[in-house]
Amino acid sequence: MPNVLMRMATVAATICCAALIILIFFGRDLSQWSFDAGELQNFKIVFLSIILEALPFLLVGVFISALLQSFVSDKLIQKLTPRNPIAGVLFGSLLGIILPLCECGMIPIVRRLIRKGLPAYIGIIYIVAGPIINPVVFGATMAAFRTNRDLAYSRFYLAFLVSVTIGLILYYFMKQNPLKAERHEHTHNHSVAHTHDHTHSHEHHHHEHPPQGKGSLIKKLADTPAHAAEEFFDMGKYLILGSLITALMQTLVTRASFAAVADQELMSHLFMMGFAYALSLCSTSDAFVASSFSNMFPPAALLSFLVFGPMLDLKNTLMMLAVFRKKFVLKFSLLIAILVLAGSILFDHLGFV
């Protein structure tokens, strides 16, 4: 029943969003509605900006995922994956340096890689570390915090420490594949968990697709758009729904709400983490938003904003719920929140920010 309601809500939200976009582009006067015209104007700008900001990264992600499906074999993925857990954690944490994507584009790639044999803990580390530990975000953060380089560097140090910690916790405690079973699967036993002797077992039943890495080049190229379209429509509806909710929250939260909690240490951290979750900004632009609050919030609270937002926000939570099991997403989200909060407070007391 919850799955049916979720599908219905997603379809309804998508229709509403499509209607809103049509009204916007055809220049309809929205002031005739019962809402304040200024708020509606702000809402539609925020909504479209989130969509347009995230869409290119989602498109890149689904296209890379489709290429992986068509051209990369399961055996190659398993061959390239580090077997040592420490090496695997470091590999996942630093993968964003060579594959810099926003979290919107990472989730379909990670799903595809896990299905091809990549240990789940490595793929999940990439989801949390990749949006921060990559050269594009590094440049943007340094540009936004020219006068506070300590805060800029702390963002990457804390993101790396949180990612490594999450990776080790997942390696030792995650005992089953966190991915949802595919709709057309009846019996699929894909074990990415490991036993207590730390040996990973991967039982692949290749019934979901023909063997990858084989066949003519023309056939692979012909299959790629179909895989990309399937991924795009699967992920895109959650992006639209998340963007709609995020735009509403951005429109309704007033600046007075910030001032009320800025002087309280714990509340300032929690508020900025919640604000980052609701804003759902791309990690290439969130540093500029954070820098605009430099005169209002302490640097440690800004650090919480800069690290937590790219790792977990509203739109990528909805996208993760489409890919991973609900219990896993809940536990994973709580783990990120606890580690980022504790790490930001620790960095503050150690004088790093």
Task: Say whether pLDDT at 32 is over 50.
Answer: no
Residues paired with residue 179 on neighbouring β-strands, in sequence order: 324
92 Cβ neighbours under 8 A, 6+ residues apart:
121, 122, 123, 124, 125, 126, 129, 163, 167
Residue carrying structure tokens 């039943």: 205
Q: Is residue 208 part of a domain?
A: no
Beta carbons of 269 and 121 less than 8 angstroms apart? no
Helix (H, G, I), strand (E, B) or coil at 324: strand
Q: Is residue 186 part of a domain?
A: no
Task: Choose among 112, 130, 123: nearest CA to 81.
Answer: 123
> How far is C-alpha 121 from the geometric centre of its chain's CA atoms?
15
Domain containing residue 142: 37-181+192-197+215-349
User: Using one digit for the tens of pLDDT, what is the confidence trace for 137-189?
Assistant: 888 889 889 889 999 999 999 999 999 999 999 999 998 899 988 765 444 44
Q: Is residue 155 part of a domain?
A: yes
Band of residue 246 on the pLDDT scale cut at 50, 70, 90 = low
Q: Is residue 15 part of a domain?
A: no
- Mean pLDDT across the chain: 78
Report the C-alpha gap between 260 and 91 in whole angstroms: 42
For residue 251, give Cα distances in angstroms to 200, 233, 255: 47, 27, 11
Q: Is residue 80 part of a domain?
A: yes
User: Using one digit for the tens of pLDDT, what is the confidence trace for 251-295?
Assistant: 777 767 777 788 888 999 999 999 889 888 777 778 887 887 888
User: Using one digit for the tens of pLDDT, what is the confidence trace for 82-141?
Assistant: 889 999 999 999 988 877 776 767 888 888 889 888 899 999 999 999 889 988 788 888
Q: Which of 2-16, 123-137, 218-232 has the lowest mean pLDDT?
A: 2-16
Q: The whole model's pTM is what?
A: 0.70
∠ CA 45-105-2, rounded to 5°: 80
Q: Is residue 4 part of a domain?
A: no
Q: Is residue 43 part of a domain?
A: yes
Number of folded domains that form the chain: 1
Range of 26-30, 41-45, 79-83, 122-126 with top mean pLDDT: 122-126
For residue 286, give Cα distances in angstroms to 146, 266, 302: 15, 21, 10
Q: Is residue 12 part of a domain?
A: no
Task: Say whether pLDDT at 21 is over 70.
Answer: no
Report the C-alpha gap between 318 and 17 in whole angstroms: 16
> What pLDDT is stored for residue 255 in this prediction?
67
Average of per-residue pLDDT across 32-47: 72
